[in-house]
Structure 1
Amino acid sequence: MKLLLTSAGIHNATIEDALVELLGKPIAEATALVIPTAIYPFRGGQFGAYRMISGNGPSRFTDVGWKSVGLLELSVLPSIEEDAWVPIVREADALLFWGGDPVFLANWMRRSGLAELLPTLRPEAVYVGASAGAIAAASTFVETYTEPPLSTDGPLKSESVVFSTPEGDIDRTLVTAQGAGLVDFAVIPHFEHPHHLDASLANAEKWAAHIPVPTYAIDDDSAIKVVDGNIEVVSEGQWKLFTP
């Protein structure tokens, strides 16, 4: 399986070109399944999921001209027969993991059986992650919260960290959790974004210091391609690699 890990979806032509290269064919000839699960813990997540699925969200994800797009909701999978969904996943050219809460997403990836299935998919399939969808691809990741997440089957640990902002210090809970184990590095999305102060350069450095693997901080105009373990950053913006 190939991976394209992004901060905000298919945000520019460079990221779109990388997606086409990974697919090995035009997007118009490729089928996709979109996974909105991570967005539901957020207030208004139901509306955010619809905007993304319908192509009315702030970033392009489902609306890049796919041949077809299906919806894969992880929380319902344990209650239905595998024959109803596993073949569809195996046939898809791309799996699109939307943003939200990566701890919640990783939890449902395991509970649904998808995390176990992903490494067995055909080599041509592409995992496309946006924000939480990119974070959850790691074996171990760290996410910041104003409060600890409520819906999880057990983060590895949590700790309090003070981040600095132009408006003053902010307290954050850093939660370490188990991801899908598809890559051996971590991702910090929305690097230097004015609305994501946790991911400013100074705070991303503090965040990455709690992650035991190399960590890529990427802005919304950057993405990480992974093919056969080879890592390449494609970018029209800013990114930085932090080493443990």
Structure 2
Amino acid sequence: MTTVKLEEELHSNTRRTRITYRGLVDGRVAAIKCYRKPLFGLVHWIRALRRGKKIRRVGGPVPPIVFAGWLASERCFGYGTAFLEGYRPLRAVLLGESSRVRQVEIIRLLGITIADLHRRGIEQPDGNLTNFLMGESDTICMVDEDDVRIYSRMLPLGVAVSNLANVAARLPDEDLVESLLMAYLDVAFVGKGSEWDDGAFWAGVKGWRATLEAKRASRNIRPRQFD
């Protein structure tokens, strides 16, 4: 029988229906997400498990699954992955970086990572920068797997444009958005007969920013950099 112990809360959604903890799975350090509320939790837990397996089959940048099951002590469905020591949310990394040059380097790494995700048919529809973790060796991994969508081939161009714009909308100025875009296009594969639509991308950035601002206002959340 697997032994699971929760030790420290790391992150929670606003409604606290999904809470991520640092904990132990049979003595191994793990990041364990608890899906609370019986029906809600079950639906999202099943989705995370199914999508998590698909992400790993196509080589997505995610840690291995170490636990999936009911946590009776917490009355929640648990989904645990190996804990990535030394990794921090990309938002925290960027906020803590005083060098503009280094910030641009990190944003370019993110652009390259997203291009690789799209090539593999992976879409992280929540562009929040806390859904990407960065390690000391400049490796970027992805979390929050239950929201991820998997396609049978590379992302359709329209989806890719909108998804990159979603992430770009979290950046505080246009120069950083341009850095993200250029890094993405340097390595992105665009299918034959398709062309990247700059106009749609920049319109998407504007639209996503408006959506994010409205969402923050409805929840009384102050504007913040690198959302």
Structure of larger gyration radius:
2
Normalized per residue, which structure has more strand? 1
Instruction: Kindly indicate whether structure 1 or structure 2 has the higher relative contact order, using CA contacts under 8 Å at least 6 residues apart.
Output: 1
Normalized per residue, which structure has more helix? 2
